[in-house]
Chains A and B, each alone.
Chain A
């Protein structure tokens, strides 16, 4: 394997645009050289940003490094590029499984099965998610990261409903869900000096959804889907999970606007489900 790595590295050095980085990154991942593997995958992605397999590779490396937040984003991106990518579907299923969302885990595995009905790893994973047959000996099949055990099996409590964004990065300081009148439904925000800024920001955002909607309508642009803004110390993204709710996501400038939009979409999905449960 070491020789393979040397050979592939040499090939990549000769032709940096070659897709050989996919095999090299995977070999390095298998050898648990995660830092180098991630560098190879990231460099490859810079040259091939629309290559679904490259996003999938990076996601697997990140999942192995327990960087689930970024792994989610990369698998999410993989599916945007290639909606039937079974590696990404299995990967997302794993992540949902990790946080105890068994319904989503099963839905993603069912979707993977549609595209690859012969994949035994999907069957094994489905059996685990349903709490039926335990996984086969020797761990999960290639492409499916190995969860230690379902959260339910470890006796974990379900996520409390009042913590709408529990489990999401920045749930208590960079996510805010408001109703149409600017009343806080969930989440919290902190100012640069660490003070609670939730109510002040909520008050300023009251009516923004309607204003964005009117502006888009006036320009005959259809419904508004997102409003992002850059600031000197951070970026924000606003979206409307439902007609009468507004979701704000705030992150520092190290989080690019595109990724912020992905985080916002994911949070909006969670918020929508939570709002539906309250109805």
Chain B
């Protein structure tokens, strides 16, 4: 997989109004594979937490009978973290402002996940 494929996939996500950054994260170890983040966002730490959260939730969801997650959305008072797993053991993550169109971000995350599979 070339870096330009990641860059192109991330650019589409960050092109959505209200998205402050996007990353490709390795699900197994939480390391950043590629990122396009606004200044001030601690990519490495966020990646580690996002991967850990996704893994925990994934296992809980499987246990609860709804299958492994295909989209996660953490809503907070001043923004959101949205994520979609990609086939190559990656997690595509977006950091967004509060009023973002979550449906549109989800769509771009799914496209990005598809493009890197």
Chain A residues near B (Cβ < 8 Å): 189-193, 197, 200-201, 204-205, 207-208, 211-212, 214-216, 218-236, 248, 250, 252, 257
Q: B45, A227: Cβ atoms under 8 Å?
A: no
Do the beta carbons of A220 and B64 come within 8 Å of each other?
Answer: no
What is the CA–CA distance of A228 and B95 in the complex, to the nearest angstrom? 15
- By a CB distance below 8 angstroms, the chain A residues around B64 are 189, 191, 197, 201, 234, 236, 248, 250
Instruction: Check if B61 sits within 8 Å of A229, measured CB to CB.
Output: yes
Say yes or no: is B88 at the interface (Cβ < 8 Å to chain A): no
Do B68 and A224 have beta carbons less than 8 Å apart?
Answer: no
Across the interface, which residues of B come within 8 angstroms of A222, CB to CB?
Answer: 76-79
Given contact pairs A219-B41, A222-B76, A227-B75, A234 touches B49 in the complex (Cβ within 8 A): no
Query: What is the interface of chain B, defined by CB distance below 8 A to chain A?
Result: 40-42, 45-46, 49-50, 52-53, 56-57, 59-61, 63-81, 95
Q: What residues of A have a CB within 8 angstroms of the CB of B74 in the complex?
A: 212, 215-216, 224, 226-227
Instruction: Name the prevailing secondary structure of the A interface residues.
Output: mixed
In the bound complex, residues from chain A placing their C-beta under 8 Å from that of B76 are 216, 219, 221-225
Residue with the highest number of chain A CB atoms closer than 10 Å, among B41, B42, B63: B63
Q: With contacts A219-B81, A226-B75 known, is A214 near B49, CB below 8 A?
A: yes
Min distance, Cβ A1 to any Cβ of chain B, angstroms: 41
Contacts of B52 in A (CB 8 A): 211
Residues of A within 8 A of B40 (CB): 220
| Alpha-carbon gap, A279 to B10, bound state (A) | 48
Would B78 and A220 count as touching, CB distance under 8 A?
A: yes
CA distance A121 to B61 in the complex (A): 46
Give the 4 A-B CB pairs with smallest separation, nearest first.
Answer: A222-B77, A234-B66, A192-B65, A231-B66
Contacts of A211 in B (CB 8 A): 49, 52-53, 56
Are A236 and B61 within 8 A (Cβ)? yes
A selection of 30 A-B contacts at a CB cut-off of 8 Å is A192-B65, A197-B65, A201-B60, A208-B53, A211-B56, A212-B74, A215-B46, A216-B76, A216-B79, A218-B45, A219-B95, A220-B40, A221-B76, A221-B77, A221-B81, A224-B75, A227-B74, A228-B72, A228-B73, A229-B71, A230-B69, A231-B61, A232-B68, A234-B61, A234-B64, A234-B67, A236-B57, A236-B64, A236-B66, A250-B66
